[in-house]
Chains A and B, each alone.
Chain A
Amino acid sequence: MSIDDVTAARIGDDWLRAAVAPAGAFGRRYDETAPAYGPGDEGRASEEIAECVALAQQLAPAALDRLRGALRAVPEPTPIVVRARAGDVLGDVDFYELARFAGTLDELARLWNDAGGTHERTPTRVERLRSLLAPGRDGDGFYLADAFGSGLRAARAELLRAENDLELQRRSIAERVRETLGVVPPGDEFVVMRDLHPDPLPPELRLVRETPAYRVVTFELQTDARDGGFARVAAAEEAARRELSSRIAAEHDDVIAATRALGALDHVLARAAFVQRWGGCVPEFASAIAFEDGILAPLAEQLAARGRRYTPLTLELPGVAVLTGPNMGGKSAALATTGFLCACAALGIPPPARAARLPLLERIVWLGGDDSARQTRLLSSYADEVVRARDVLATASARCLILVDEFARTTGPREGRALLIALLEALRSRGAFALAATHFDGVAEAAKVTHLRIAGLSVATFAALDARDLDAALDAINAAMDYRIVAAEAPDSASDALALAELLGFDRTVVARARALYERPADEPPARG
Chain B
Amino acid sequence: MVVVGTAKNTGKTTAFNALCAVAGRRGIAIAVTSLGRDGEPADALDGEAKPRVRFAAGTLVALPAGLVPRTPALAILESGGPTALGAVVFARAMLPVTCEIGGPPTARAMRSVVRRLTALTDGPVLVDGAIDRIAPLAGGDDAIVLAAGAASGATVSAVAATAAETVARLQLPGRDPSRERARVVAIDGALDAGSAQDLIAHAAGATVVVNDPTRVTVRGALLAALRDAVDLRCERPLRIVACTTSPLGRGVALSAELLVKAVAQATGLPAFDVVSDLAATPMPNGATP
How many residue pairs, one in A and one in B, have C-beta atoms under 8 Å apart?
A: 92
Cβ of B76 < 8 Å from any Cβ of A? yes
Question: Given A141-B75, A144-B73, A160-B95, are A93 and B68 also a contact pair (CB < 8 Å)?
Answer: yes
Please tell me if the beta carbons of B95 and A159 are within 8 angstroms of each other in the complex.
yes
Apart from the given pairs A96-B89, A186-B276, A237-B73, 18 other A-B contacts in the complex at a CB distance below 8 Å: A91-B68, A92-B73, A92-B76, A93-B65, A93-B76, A93-B87, A96-B76, A97-B79, A141-B76, A142-B75, A156-B72, A191-B277, A209-B248, A213-B253, A213-B255, A216-B275, A230-B72, A233-B72
Within 8 A of B (CB), among A92-118: 92-93, 95-97
Using a CB–CB cutoff of 8 Å, the interface residues on chain A facing chain B are 91-93, 95-97, 138-144, 156, 159-160, 163, 183-187, 189-191, 193, 209, 211-214, 216, 230, 233-234, 237-238, 241
Please tell me if the beta carbons of A214 and B76 are within 8 angstroms of each other in the complex.
no
Please tell me if the beta carbons of A190 and B256 are within 8 angstroms of each other in the complex.
no
Please tell me if the beta carbons of B75 and A190 are within 8 angstroms of each other in the complex.
no
Determine how close the nearest CB of chain B comes to the CB of A187; give it in whole angstroms: 6
Cβ of B17 < 8 Å from any Cβ of A? yes
Please tell me if the beta carbons of B256 and A191 are within 8 angstroms of each other in the complex.
yes
User: Among A93, A189, A209, which residue has its beta carbon within 8 angstroms of that of B89?
Assistant: A93
Cβ of B21 < 8 Å from any Cβ of A? yes
Determine how close the nearest CB of chain B comes to the CB of A328; give it in whole angstroms: 46
Please tell me if the beta carbons of A211 and B253 are within 8 angstroms of each other in the complex.
yes
Please tell me if the beta carbons of B70 and A238 are within 8 angstroms of each other in the complex.
yes
**What is the bound-complex CA distance between A170 and B96, given in angstroms?**
15
Please tell me if the beta carbons of B277 and A93 are within 8 angstroms of each other in the complex.
no
Within 8 A of A (CB), among B69-108: 70-79, 86-87, 89, 94-96
Q: Which residue of B lies closest to A214 (CB)?
A: B256
Cβ of B199 < 8 Å from any Cβ of A? no
**What is the bound-complex CA distance between A276 and B273, given in angstroms?**
67
Q: Which residue of A lies closest to B89 (CB)?
A: A93
Q: Which 9 A-B pairs have the closest CB atoms?
A: A211-B253, A191-B276, A143-B75, A234-B71, A96-B76, A144-B73, A141-B77, A186-B277, A93-B65
User: Among A92, A163, A189, A238, which residue has its beta carbon within 8 angstroms of that of B74?
Assistant: A92
Determine how close the nearest CB of chain A comes to the CB of B61; give it in whole angstroms: 13
Question: Given A187-B275, A191-B276, A216-B248, are A141 and B73 also a contact pair (CB < 8 Å)?
Answer: no
Q: Which residue of A lies closest to B86 (CB)?
A: A93
Q: How would you classify the secondary structure of chain B's contact residues: helix, strand, loop or mixed?
A: mixed
Please tell me if the beta carbons of B79 and A93 are within 8 angstroms of each other in the complex.
yes
**Contacts of B18 on A, CB cut-off 8 Å?**
186-187
Please tell me if the beta carbons of A96 and B79 are within 8 angstroms of each other in the complex.
yes
Q: Which residue of B lies closest to A185 (CB)?
A: B277
Contact with A along B126-165 (1 / 0, CB 8 A): 0000000000000000000000000000000000000000
**What is the bound-complex CA distance between A156 and B75, given in angstroms?**
14
Determine how close the nearest CB of chain A comes to the CB of B229; give it in whole angstroms: 43
Contact with A along B1-37 (1 / 0, CB 8 A): 0000000000000000110010000000000000000
**What is the bound-complex CA distance between A115 and B273, given in angstroms?**
63
**What is the bound-complex CA distance between A418 and B139, given in angstroms?**
75
**What is the bound-complex CA distance between A238 and B69, given in angstroms?**
12
**Contacts of A193 on B, CB cut-off 8 Å?**
256-257, 276
Please tell me if the beta carbons of A184 and B277 are within 8 angstroms of each other in the complex.
yes
Cβ of B190 < 8 Å from any Cβ of A? no
Q: Which residue of A lies closest to B51 (CB)?
A: A189
Question: Given A93-B76, A96-B76, A141-B76, are A237 and B248 also a contact pair (CB < 8 Å)?
Answer: no
Please tell me if the beta carbons of A142 and B76 are within 8 angstroms of each other in the complex.
yes
Cβ of B274 < 8 Å from any Cβ of A? yes
Most buried by A among B21, B68, B71, B95: B71
Determine how close the nearest CB of chain B comes to the CB of A188; give it in whole angstroms: 9
**What is the bound-complex CA distance between A144 and B68, given in angstroms?**
13
**What is the bound-complex CA distance between A142 and B70, given in angstroms?**
14
Please tell me if the beta carbons of A191 and B275 are within 8 angstroms of each other in the complex.
yes
Please tell me if the beta carbons of B71 and A230 are within 8 angstroms of each other in the complex.
yes
Please tell me if the beta carbons of B79 and A190 are within 8 angstroms of each other in the complex.
no
**What is the bound-complex CA distance between A276 and B276, given in angstroms?**
71
Within 8 A of A (CB), among B38-76: 65, 68, 70-76
**Contacts of A93 on B, CB cut-off 8 Å?**
65, 68, 76, 79, 86-87, 89
Most buried by A among B21, B74, B75, B95: B75
**Contacts of A140 on B, CB cut-off 8 Å?**
77-78
**Contacts of B72 on A, CB cut-off 8 Å?**
156, 159, 230, 233, 237
**What is the bound-complex CA distance between A212 and B254, given in angstroms?**
10
**Contacts of A187 on B, CB cut-off 8 Å?**
17-18, 21, 274-275
**What is the bound-complex CA distance between A238 and B65, given in angstroms?**
17
**Contacts of A139 on B, CB cut-off 8 Å?**
77
**What is the bound-complex CA distance between A76 and B248, given in angstroms?**
48
**What is the bound-complex CA distance between A163 and B255, given in angstroms?**
34
Determine how close the nearest CB of chain B comes to the CB of A436; give it in whole angstroms: 52
**Contacts of B87 on A, CB cut-off 8 Å?**
93
**What is the bound-complex CA distance between A209 and B96, given in angstroms?**
27
**Contacts of B86 on A, CB cut-off 8 Å?**
93
Most buried by A among B18, B70, B273: B70
Please tell me if the beta carbons of B71 and A189 are within 8 angstroms of each other in the complex.
no
Question: Given A187-B18, A214-B256, are A92 and B274 also a contact pair (CB < 8 Å)?
Answer: no
A/B interface sample: 22 pairs, CB < 8 A:
A92-B76, A93-B68, A93-B79, A93-B89, A95-B76, A138-B75, A141-B76, A142-B75, A143-B75, A143-B76, A163-B95, A163-B96, A186-B18, A186-B274, A186-B275, A187-B17, A187-B274, A190-B277, A191-B273, A191-B275, A211-B253, A238-B71
Please tell me if the beta carbons of B75 and A233 are within 8 angstroms of each other in the complex.
no
**What is the bound-complex CA distance between A103 and B95, given in angstroms?**
27
Determine how close the nearest CB of chain A comes to the CB of B169; give it in whole angstroms: 29
**What is the bound-complex CA distance between A138 and B256, given in angstroms?**
48
Please tell me if the beta carbons of B275 and A190 are within 8 angstroms of each other in the complex.
yes
**Contacts of A141 on B, CB cut-off 8 Å?**
75-78
Q: Which residue of B lies closest to A210 (CB)?
A: B253
Q: Which residue of B lies closest to A212 (CB)?
A: B253
**Contacts of B95 on A, CB cut-off 8 Å?**
156, 159-160, 163, 233
User: Among B17, B96, B276, which residue has its beta carbon within 8 angstroms of that of A214?
Assistant: B276
**What is the bound-complex CA distance between A238 and B256, given in angstroms?**
45
**Contacts of A190 on B, CB cut-off 8 Å?**
275-277
Please tell me if the beta carbons of B71 and A233 are within 8 angstroms of each other in the complex.
yes
Determine how close the nearest CB of chain A comes to the CB of B105; give it in whole angstroms: 18
Determine how close the nearest CB of chain B comes to the CB of A442; give it in whole angstroms: 65
Q: Which residue of A lies closest to B75 (CB)?
A: A143
**What is the bound-complex CA distance between A95 and B76, given in angstroms?**
9
Within 8 A of A (CB), among B158-206: none
**What is the bound-complex CA distance between A423 and B89, given in angstroms?**
65
**Contacts of B256 on A, CB cut-off 8 Å?**
191, 193, 213-214
**Contacts of B73 on A, CB cut-off 8 Å?**
92, 143-144, 237
